[in-house]
Chains A and B, each alone.
Chain A
Amino acid sequence: MDALFAYQVRAMRRIFASEDVCLGCRLCEVYCAVRHSKSGDIIKAMTREVPKPMPRIVVNEAGPTSFALQCRVCEEPMCVQSCISGAMRKDPDGVVRVDEERCIGCWTCVISCPYGAIGRGTAERPVALKCDMCPGLDVPICVANCPNEALKCEEEDSSGKV
């Protein structure tokens, strides 16, 4: 395995997607955006909120292949190491989160994340968009709402096994 991708998480929860089962329906994106909106209501979020609520999980698509991608919760996150402002931090629960108040939108994280899993926000709010593993929910909202069970949230032990 490439040296860079030895930065994999141990004993932490991550979301895994199956390209064999993903429909490319993008419901994960909708639920994620609404979860991270001010109102938490899909109609208000989609029609009225400024800045527009944005998803942190993005379906990557190429022809028939589709794959919902979000933060891989790397053990040694390139985004945290590269962050100019210190906004990108690994929290005690192991999840990498961005402090949107500290983020200056330089996109060093975007240019560092090997998965391209960090988004660039909107013109109104140009801060890093990043999966936060839905703190406060037992199951991340994308996993809970995937109609085809293409997303699973799993924990690995220190040997790398589920």
Chain B
Amino acid sequence: MERFDYLIIGNSVAAVGAVEAIREVDDRSSLAIVCDEPFHTYSRPRISECLTSGEAAERICYRPREFYDEYSVVPILGVRVEHIIPGDKAVCLSDGRKLQYQKLLLATGSRPIVPRIEGIGLAGVHYFTTYAHVEQLARSLSDIKQAVVIGGGLIGLQAAEALCNIGVEVTVVEKLDRILAQSFDERASALIEAQFVRHGVSIITSASVEAILGDGGRVSSISLSNNESIPCQAVVVAVGVTPRKELAEEAGLRTNRGIVVDDFMRTSDPDVYAAGDVCESVDLLTGERCLMQIWPNAYAEGRIAGLNMAGQPTRYKGGISLNATHFFGYPVGSAGLIGQMEGCLDLVDFDESTGFYRRIITRNGIPIGMVMAGDALDRAGIITAFIRNKTDVSSFITELGDRNFNIAHMTRELRLARQLGREM
């Protein structure tokens, strides 16, 4: 039986974070990655680039080709883990092999939620979270004139934009009363919706798909809850993702919506860790454990897991919600808590004519969230750091609300504390 000191299940951002952390501490022990996808580690948010370009697959690699060699990782790709047996410290692979480990990391990520809609199994129904999904969609493009995207979240809209850019007539159907309700506030949702509408995408909110209808086993239309029917040759389902926690559940590890971990990213088994989309970790702002399906947080969690696995005890302080992307060239970003909350002071700068939107939410003089669109993104990281550090900004809160806010508006003490210079 093959034996590895460190074994990682998963090959995306949390796994990479763990690999890089382990090798910082321990460059000798054996380390292997097992992943059911046969590909070199790639950047999932970029898969829409692969819709029209075969070469994009190379472009979206998340780390250089030499990564596994450079970090002395044995990549076991295109192989599924069928079971984990924490009692034996072993995992069983789909190719019949059994691998032993000293420390195991579950970085299995999440998979698309399959809604219970009539016709969900028809040919022409697609998902949009993996390279294979996009490859499959790309193969049927020549038959697609009209497409319906179910779900107006980040993934659904990325799919909608990609399809729109190649001339497909796209309709997005969103259950809630606005798109991007999980990631942005009402105004940003409206600004982004305007971008889509300007580019010819139809957006229907407060509506759900009753059924996907077919003709000869292939998608031909969808019908909405209001009885409206939309003809289409493809449906992209993007109604959310759910943690791939089956291995942990079967092995009796503690799970909730995701795999439950402590501040050291350890599961209920001391030699098994979890990180990324699959686990529930601490939200820095609420103090609660929840799913934080955010790319930078997945890296951070992978890193913390790796440090702990390698014997360097490191506590994860928690993450915040964080999003930054662009739609049709229009940049948008958000961080922290952005809903309407009691006892909060909003600093808002909005210019409809330029699409400049800058909103910082503060509570008791401490920033807790922000939403930015257009040029408001400049230097936004300064605010993110205030949110993460719970910095009291009362003494410069007026300046903070100004779009030209920069580090010179911070107090001198704060600048020096951040080693932003020297007393010369």
Contact = CB atoms under 8 A, between A and B. Distances in A.
A78 B381 contact: yes
B295 A112 contact: no
Interface string A1-21: 111110010000000111111
Nearest to B303: A81
A118 B419 contact: no
A86 B378 contact: no
B418 A84 contact: no
Interface in B406-424: 406-409, 412, 415, 417-424
Interface string B311-355: 000000100001011100101010100000000000000000000
A30 to B, nearest CB: 19
Chain B interface bracket (under 10, 10 to 19, 20 to 34, 35 or more): 35 or more
A1 B417 contact: yes
A61 B300 CA distance: 33
A112 B329 CA distance: 20
A85 to B, nearest CB: 5
A12 B24 CA distance: 17
Interface string A60-84: 1110011101001000001001101
Given A65-B408, A85-B60, A19 B299 contact: no
B114 interface: no
A115 B333 contact: no
Given A105-B326, A106-B326, A111-B377, A85 B406 contact: no
Q: Give the interface centre of A3, A66, A81 by most chain B CB atoms within 10 Å.
A: A81
Contact of A69 (B62, B296, B409, B420): B420
A118 B389 contact: no
Contacts of A5: 389, 417-419
B420 A67 contact: yes
Contacts of B99: none
B94 to A, nearest CB: 28
A111 B378 CA distance: 8
Nearest to A156: B419
Contact of A86 (B62, B409, B422): B62
Contacts of A116: 378-382, 406-407
A19 B380 contact: no
B43 interface: yes
A38 to B, nearest CB: 23
A113 interface: yes
B290 interface: no
B296 A62 contact: no
Contacts of A111: 322, 324, 333, 335, 372, 377, 380-381, 384
Contacts of A117: 381
Q: Give the interface centre of B377, B412, B420 by most chain A CB atoms within 10 Å.
A: B420
A116 B383 CA distance: 9
A67 B420 CA distance: 9
Contacts of B331: 105, 107, 120
B381 A84 contact: no
Contact of B381 (A17, A61, A118): A118
B399 interface: yes
A86 to B, nearest CB: 4
B333 A107 contact: yes
Contacts of B418: 1-2, 5, 114-115
A114 B333 contact: no
Given A1-B417, A8-B419, A61-B406, A106 B300 contact: no
A105 B391 CA distance: 28
Contacts of A1: 417-418
Contacts of A82: 295-296, 299, 322
Given A84-B295, A110-B324, A112-B296, A4 B424 contact: no
B417 to A, nearest CB: 6
A78 B320 CA distance: 13
Interface in B365-395: 372, 377-382, 384-385, 388-389, 391
A84 B61 CA distance: 10
Contact of B377 (A62, A110, A115): A110
B46 interface: yes
Nearest to A102: B59
Contact of B424 (A2, A21, A84, A108): A21
B327 to A, nearest CB: 11
Q: Give the interface centre of B45, B303, B325, B406 by most chain A CB atoms within 10 Å.
A: B406
Contact of A67 (B335, B377, B407): B407
Interface of B: 17, 43, 45-46, 59-64, 295-296, 299-300, 303, 317, 322, 324-326, 329, 331, 333, 335, 372, 377-382, 384-385, 388-389, 391, 399, 406-409, 412, 415, 417-424
Interface of A: 1-5, 8, 16-21, 60-62, 65-67, 69, 72, 78, 81-82, 84-86, 102, 104-120, 126, 152
